[in-house]
Structure 1
């Protein structure tokens, strides 16, 4: 947590991953992020995995350091409160459709400097999710063992909803760009970011689109090998699997020295007429022969010995871990300043919580803050942002338009 955005307030009406990530990243940099949800929880309030008490660990982590307002968004009065709240605050992040009650036209009425950022599916308005845009991107049909039959091989979906998180990060940047523009010109902005465009645009930015068009076909599957360079998973004598990546002359020299394979590599160079020290191309073309040399050396030594030698030489490598192993690893988590002490999470479960990924050495990062209980800040926000009195708020609560904290227990959705 840093205070760089402490003068910025954002209303967020979000669900699932991409849109809440925008608010999360802004909140970690100090912005006041007010999440507005349907009473009883929105579409993502009970997403897996849940604790025994029914608290979603995904929701808890995507909504750290935010405030929570619970409104009956199915009612006209609740929707109008959400619109008024967004308009009064001046910044809105949402993934509701443009033709919903939170259209830019509605929230910007009487507020020409209003900024709304909308996470969309496809640019033409069709629905999409990470899993479906990934299917369209081509990546699932590019991964898998290289000996799979091209015509019949199944796609390999990724477990991480990467497009959601990339979209969330890009949206946080786009939102800050719009805020910066307003600070110079006084102009508001409507910003739309389609998830599908982030995916296919990333394919283009990475050079993969140009590559496919240039080659006139698809890239072959390579298993765990790195495309265009030398790198793959290897196994030590004691059965530990680890990844080695070689993209520079320095990394090549370090790997060769650490594994003691200079002699067989020189013999391969003589046989092929290819020089490997300075050529990604040559290393990639002759990867199978080089992989055999590396695996031959790795298979004669235990991983602890290999790790020490590779580290000492300055090689780029890492051991494969299960995610549970990664979550309990001292180097990755326990001794990593990215993680702070567990705040008082709504779930009641204590575990390491991430600070901002950005590290500002000149500033001290505050400890992570917890996610709110649903509706925890309803009264505070409606009073401060809309100027409603306690009697007005009490009437809204009595009539079921507004709800307060669900700290005493999860409630069934109405």
Structure 2
């Protein structure tokens, strides 16, 4: 599948993206995937640092091709007053402003919400930061890794007694982004009723904390501090990773009837009929024995053999996918979760598809990620700037 020109459910909405790297831009990307017009403001010269993060092809990160699709780029120096004035003109015409600067940055530029909303009462401002816009930590610099630690996730990551590990991606940033998008959609509904915009304040650590399930109530009710448990799911059994002769599989046999089918499938009907294993409470109490039985069976078989037997028994089971596995899996392609995108540099690259799937107004990739400042002139013309004005702005290095 290549790029599409479907408008999407957010068509007609204008988004100005200020900020860089992951949290703010991922939120704006998601809005763009569903039809919003996104204008990304980047500093002239180098642009968003994400352009140079991780693996580079033809001078630009391939990550950039995903993060900045469906966006236009204006290279604008926000450190100068005239650059800030141009940004305010764009914001005056916008429905949504997305920013992930350190709290106080926009206020120092005279771009606080009260000032911006005076000219644009319907403006919705999404503010993503490490610790939020208020509180004793607001001025501390915060990245996703710190949010993951403060939100409680890092403590649970890894094996018992070992140094916590990261999950392999910047999950704190993307969780904050998705919470921000939820806030934007709720604010749009409120604006539909009241005509008024508002501020959405998302802190990285709060977004992580929000998905930590029973972590806090367990401590509140029992004084229980949940500990890391490797690949197991503490208190729910069996749900773990098990070694095979050529890899590992994940098995989730934690439903009562599923557990019985699992035990029969691995030639342990005796365990399927034991009363002390009939419920989750009993299986948790005997988890060493249960995991041992499953592990003994899987360790004598290949991954494919385990998948075949347990799938036939209707037991949830899966291989641990690498990027290669994803790229070769027919289910991903059947659901348009792997799209082929033509980049501005002239090569094709496969990128993740769009989530969630909407039946009536699906999202789409309408434009490739832009070169730095690619749309500067057309954006300035739309603001009423003449060619001479644009040339003078370039001479003064206000735009690029």
| 1:397-408 superposed matches below 5 A | 397-403=394-400
Aligned twin of 1:304: 304
Match of 1:142 among 156, 177, 183: 156
Residue 229 (structure 2) aligned to one of 201, 222, 226 = 222
Alignment partners' CA distance in 1, 2:363 and 2:257: 34
Aligned equivalent of 1:337:
336
Match of 1:191 among 192, 196, 200: 200
Deviation at residue 58 of structure 1 after TM alignment:
2.3
Asked if 2 retains the 8 angstrom alpha-carbon contact of 1:45 and 1:59, the reply is yes
Aligned length: 385
Instruction: Tell me by how many angstroms 1:19 deviates.
Output: 0.6
Counterpart-to-counterpart distance in 1, 2:186 and 2:280 = 38
Aligned match for 1:35, one of 23, 37, 40: 40
Structure-2 change in CA distance of 1:44 and 1:280 (3 Å): farther
Aligned to 1:87: 92
Q: Which runs of 5+ in 1 are unaligned?
A: 404-414
For residues 152 and 38 of structure 2, what CA distance do their matches in structure 1 show?
Answer: 35
**Candidates 260, 266, 275, aligned match of 2:267:** 260
Within the alignment, does 1:394 sit opposite 2:391 as a pair?
yes
- Mapped to 1, the partners of 2:315 and 2:335 lie a distance apart of 21
Given that 1:264 and 1:293 are in contact with CA atoms closer than 8 Å, whether structure 2 keeps it comes out as no
Q: CA RMSD for the aligned pairs?
A: 2.3
**Residue range with higher mean Cα deviation, 3-12 or 375-384:** 375-384
1:278-297 superposed matches below 5 A? 279-297=279-297
1:10-409 superposed matches below 5 A? 10-96=15-101, 97-98=103-104, 99-101=107-109, 102-123=111-132, 124=135, 125=138, 126-146=140-160, 148=161, 153-203=162-212, 206-229=213-236, 230-236=238-244, 238-266=245-273, 269=274, 274-276=276-278, 279-321=279-321, 323-331=322-330, 333-340=332-339, 342-362=340-360, 366=364, 369-384=367-382, 386-403=383-400
Q: 1:94 to 1:131 in 2, by over 3 A?
A: same
Secondary structure, aligned partner of 2:205: helix
Change (3 A) 1:304 1:128: same
Q: Which moved more, 1:73-82 or 1:247-256?
A: 247-256
Deviation digits for residues 293-348 of structure 1, max 9, x if unmatched? 11122223332222112122221111123x333343323644442222x2221354
In 2, distance between residues paired with 1:221 and 1:262?
Answer: 31
Shift of residue 106, structure 1, vs aligned partner:
3.5
Tell me the SS of whatever aligns to 1:343.
strand
Alpha-carbon offset, residue 5 of structure 1: 0.7
Contact 2:19 2:100 in 1 (8 A): yes
- Segments of structure 2 that go 5 or more residues without pairing to the other structure are 1-5
TM-score where L is the length of structure 2 = 0.88
Give 2:3's aligned residue: none
